[in-house]
Amino acid sequence: MSKTIRVSEEFHELVRAHNQEGETMEETLRRLTRGPDPDVLAEVISGGDEREAATLRDAIERRRDRGRERRDGIRERFE
């Protein structure tokens, strides 16, 4: 299943400018946002190892927290 998202022309051009040869827009966005690799997630989920899944969830949450802190710091510098 896929979803459609609306982005500004400028943002779309920015993402497209970072698109590597043979890469889908989703792959580009995942790389730019350091999003989780779908293959890794699928392996953990299908493997049924709850410890690995918990470790992955914790790592993702830590990365999100660092990203939020980084964005907040940048936002504060521009205010």
Of 37, 30, 36, 35, the C-alpha closest to 15 is: 30
Rounded distance between C-alpha atoms, residue 8 and residue 29, angstroms: 15
The per-residue pLDDT for 63 is: 82
Q: What ranges do the domains of the chain cover?
A: 9-78
pLDDT one-digit tens code per residue, 68-78: 888 888 888 88
pLDDT one-digit tens code per residue, 15-33: 899 999 999 988 888 888 8
Rounded distance between C-alpha atoms, residue 6 and residue 12, angstroms: 9
The per-residue pLDDT for 38 is: 66
Which region among 1-5, 31-35, 39-43 has the lowest average model confidence (pLDDT)? Answer: 39-43
**pLDDT of 66 higher than 80:** yes
